[in-house]
Structure 1
Amino acid sequence: MSIFPNSDICETSVMSTNLVKQTDFDAIIIGGGACGLMCAVQAGFLGKRVLILEKNDRVGAKILISGGGRCNYTNLYATDQQFISQNPHFCKSAFSQWTVDDTISFFETYGISGKEKTLGQLFPVSDKAKDVVEVFTNLCDDLGQEIWLNAEVKAVEKTEGIFTVRAEVNGKQEYISAPSVVMAAGGLPIPKMGATDFGLRTARNFGMQIIDTAPALVPLTITGKDQPWYEQLSGNSVFCRVWNDRASFEENILFTHWGLSGPAILQISSYWKPGEVIYIDLLPNQNIAELIKQEREANGKRMLLAFIAGLYTRKFAEALSDRLPAEKNLASLTKTDIEEISALIHEFKVKPAGDKGYDKAEVMRGGVATDELSSKTLEAKKVPGLFFGGECVDVTGWLGGYNFQWAWASGFVIAQNL
């Protein structure tokens, strides 16, 4: 079986065996991100020799920019419940083999202590993502694992139980063979950092099903007549509850000149589809009608705008006043007025025009169908020796370190089965 994702640049459908470098690698890992690096290190602990092929001029590029350069490397509360997949039970096996405690212990062993920022998000005490990457590069050096940088894989072939990988390394064609290949090439987000669909094309050309992909953990856009209203609020952040019929999150939202961002919006975006409405409670865990009643009894002459400004910033209150009977004082508000105010505050309805796409998305939803893989080993059922881990698999986590936990866990599991 052979595949040539870039077949337009290939003159033949079979790699020349005369050009293949016979190696003693136990596996070739395509992608030097979180999953690939963990896999290489764990394989080294087991005495297995691997080669990482990394397209960029350094490994861990996405690790280095994550968390604003600080790297939220796991979440204290990560379970299978915070992941989206066609098979919500698929990741349970990996998470039982490599737990959050394992992640914490691993990094502590190599000098990285964690600190919780919020909602279980764990960052290095140093606040330096490069420290996380250096753990892996140092261990790869110590274990004798090879890393080839500027190595773009062009094709993968399997013949008589052996894989051959064709890669362009610093402008030179290389052919490398090994009994196993690990696809840890990531997903589609942040193409300027070299993200491609190579992992998905590899799976598809080996006859594997791909679940439709879409940007996830991504800002949402607003267009049309409502856009100026959002633009005037650009820069304002409000603690809210955001929900639809599939999920609900309580965190900050951020108004921007093109729409909505912030943690709660990024979270709900993974559960949103074009054309759907999302709802925002602008005052979660409180009842605006009850607050108005209490304030009216104490000071009925107070203007509604002044009252609302006491709950939010003045700028945000003035923007809301466009949709409220702001010219009234609290004593003059009718039952209908209060019902309309309550609906606006607690069920603010938004119908996004779209999202900011893969350029701004943190992760990808969808990917290689979990039905195609063994949940215990992450090996392709149809192609023995071919493994898939990390973001290219149809397992997408929440914001807050969850996707790194999946990357570490899947890398560990694959290493045990090479």
Structure 2
Amino acid sequence: MNYDAVIIGGGACGLMCAVQAGYLGKRTLILEKNAQVGAKILISGGGRCNYTNLHTTPANFVSENPHFIKSALSQWTVDDSVSFFETYGISGQEKTLGQLFPTTNKAKDIVNIFTDLCEQLDQTILLNCDVKFVKQHPNGFEIGYEQHGKSHTIICPKVVMASGGLPIAKMGATDFSLKVAKQFNLEIVKTAPALVPLTITGKEEAFFAGLSGNSIFARVSLPEISFEENILFTHWGLSGPAILQISSYWQPGNQIEIDLLPNQNIISLIEQERSANGKKVLSNYLAAFYTRKFIDAIGEFIPTQKNLASLTKDDFIAIENFIHHFKVKPAGDKGYDKAEVMRGGVSTNELSSKTLESKKIQGLYFGGECVDVTGWLGGFNFQWAWASGFVIAQNI
């Protein structure tokens, strides 16, 4: 079979690339390692698929070159994503902070659009294909893969690396795109788990484990950025949306500051209550904001059993520091199996921002998660996947 391009990886980027190429009359072959395409789409958002974010801007992405993504996001906008899915019967419902989910709440409906379109547009999908190598060839590239125990090769003028990143190995995640990039001497930005829970060890471990299950709306900060969403205490540390967000910026050894009552001042609130009801015990007052389990646990840090009238200046300092400046130094993260995405990847210095083609190797393209472009939690990574797939399709 003659194909205009072989797409390695049938995830969000690869599927969008194949469909958009089909619209242009091009023929592509998707080689997918799993027994079905769209594995990460199917598990995203708890199986509901948060497929874009209405508030997407370049500022919602982590990259060594924050300007790189501007071209792709302008070529394929959020409105384009919304229109594309609406055309094929999926309308979106907005949830927290611009997150858009299908009204059907079924991620498989997103995947079905792509598989149906690939069939209609004569794009070929081969499943259970383990790609072994990509080599340059006089006619472009030679791709070797195994399927059902048999080895195959195919020659094609162009190759699209859309095989994702390292998170969730049990979903078939590999570093194959990075290996191909290294093979062609392309620069790789150091990779790490991102959108990942953080672990606490040592003398603080018991405190966090004791609070397991408590969820609190908070502001989580590093010097360069902060996020306001829920945090979740766990047996091994911290999770929840705000923690996952900050994890994409956190580096080992960094300290994180948490405001456990953002946009309010705990001291002013206590003083107001004290003037009306000085006999009230602090723990009973704090029950308006936190669970009893949490209040009991923080009694070793602040005087929860004192009544409000007897609180001293030092008590107020302790309360303010704990509630508004709770400091944590994570020991590490939960690794790629618990990470939603990978940080780092193929350096944007190696790619044309307009086409996503390698500057060094003509006909070789990289899109989606394997590139050093990492979105925030909440549909941003899907928007990058759709955009990068579209951009590549225009140029293969």
Interval containing the TM-score (normalised by the shorter chain) = over 0.9
Partner of 1:109: 87
Q: Distance in 1 between matches of 2:291 and 2:304?
A: 15
1:1-80 counterparts in 2 under 5 A? 23-80=1-58
Partner of 1:322: 300
1:44-193 counterparts in 2 under 5 A? 44-193=22-171
Q: Please, what TM-score do these two structures have when normalized by structure 2?
A: 0.99
Aligned length: 396
Aligned with residue 318 of structure 2, among 327, 340, 348: 340
Q: Distance in 2 between matches of 1:295 and 1:319?
A: 23
Aligned with residue 226 of structure 1, among 204, 229, 248: 204
Aligned with residue 264 of structure 1, among 242, 246, 252: 242
User: Is residue 288 of structure 2 the alignment partner of residue 298 of structure 1?
Assistant: no
Q: Distance in 2 between matches of 1:27 and 1:317?
A: 60
Percentage of identical aligned residues:
70
* CA RMSD after TM alignment: 0.7
Shift of 1:92: 0.1
The 8 Å contact of residues 160 and 367 in structure 2, kept in 1 or not, is answered as yes
Shift of 1:198: 0.4
Shift of 1:326: 2.0
Aligned with residue 228 of structure 2, among 250, 254, 260: 250
Q: Distance in 2 between matches of 1:333 and 1:374?
A: 62
Partner of 1:201: 179
Q: Which amino acid aligns with 1:220?
A: L
Q: Distance in 2 between matches of 1:43 and 1:186?
A: 19
Q: Distance in 1 between matches of 2:295 and 2:102?
A: 38
Q: Distance in 1 between matches of 2:177 and 2:357?
A: 14
Q: Which amino acid aligns with 1:42?
A: Q
Q: Distance in 1 between matches of 2:290 and 2:73?
A: 41
The 8 Å contact of residues 42 and 108 in structure 2, kept in 1 or not, is answered as yes
Partner of 1:407: 385
Shift of 1:161: 4.2
Shift of 1:395: 0.1
Pick which of 60-69 and 162-171 moved more.
162-171
Shift of 1:411: 0.1
The 8 Å contact of residues 139 and 155 in structure 2, kept in 1 or not, is answered as no
User: Is residue 357 of structure 2 the alignment partner of residue 379 of structure 1?
Assistant: yes
Q: Which amino acid aligns with 2:240?
A: G
Q: Please, what TM-score do these two structures have when normalized by structure 1?
A: 0.94
The 8 Å contact of residues 259 and 324 in structure 2, kept in 1 or not, is answered as yes
Question: What do residues 122-141 of structure 1 show as CA deviations (whole Å, max 9, x unaligned)?
Answer: 00000000000000000000
Pick which of 58-67 and 309-318 moved more.
309-318
Shift of 1:111: 0.5
Question: What do residues 344-377 of structure 1 show as CA deviations (whole Å, max 9, x unaligned)?
Answer: 0001000101000000000000000000000000
The 8 Å contact of residues 283 and 295 in structure 2, kept in 1 or not, is answered as yes
Question: What do residues 153-203 of structure 1 show as CA deviations (whole Å, max 9, x unaligned)?
Answer: 000111224111000012110101110000000000001111111000000
Q: Which amino acid aligns with 2:135?
A: E
Question: What do residues 89-117 of structure 1 show as CA deviations (whole Å, max 9, x unaligned)?
Answer: 00000000000000000000001000001
1:269-280 counterparts in 2 under 5 A? 269-280=247-258
Q: Which amino acid aligns with 2:32?
A: E
1:349-360 counterparts in 2 under 5 A? 349-360=327-338
Q: Distance in 2 between matches of 1:350 and 1:309?
A: 23
Q: Which runs of 5+ in 2 are unaligned?
A: none
User: Is residue 339 of structure 2 the alignment partner of residue 361 of structure 1?
Assistant: yes
Partner of 2:370: 392
The 8 Å contact of residues 248 and 343 in structure 2, kept in 1 or not, is answered as yes
Deviating beyond 2 angstroms after TM superposition, the runs of 4 or more aligned structure 1 residues are none
Q: Distance in 1 between matches of 2:323 and 2:26?
A: 58
The 8 Å contact of residues 139 and 156 in structure 2, kept in 1 or not, is answered as no
Partner of 1:6: none
Q: Which runs of 5+ in 1 are unaligned?
A: 1-22
Where 1:176 maps in the other structure, the secondary structure is: strand
